[in-house]
Amino acid sequence: MVRVTLKVSPLAKAAVLGAMAGMGLVLYGMHKDVSWAGGVGTVLFFGGAITWYIERYRMYRKRKDGD
């Protein structure tokens, strides 16, 4: 068995949660024909994804500079 661990900051965890909620809203908006849910969900999803990658890059740079 292989165990993979990924250490992330609390902000990165919140970003993933926001992205997941956004995708849930997008899917809800698509299936129920609710236009506002699609727009809000798209913004949440991409905002969460961008924040995730910024935080991962920041953590990578911090670890690299610390060595």
- In this prediction the pTM is 0.78
Q: What is the mean pLDDT of residues 48-61?
A: 91
Alpha helices in the chain (DSSP H): 10-32, 35-66
pLDDT in the model for residue 6: 77
pLDDT in tens, 23-38: 999 999 999 999 999 9
Segment among 19-23, 47-51, 52-56, 59-63 with least mean pLDDT: 59-63
Answer yes or no: is pLDDT of 66 > 70. Answer: no
Give me 26's structure tokens.
Answer: 């997008």
Give me 11's structure tokens.
Answer: 């902000």
Q: What is the mean pLDDT of the chain?
A: 90
Give me 61's structure tokens.
Answer: 């740079």
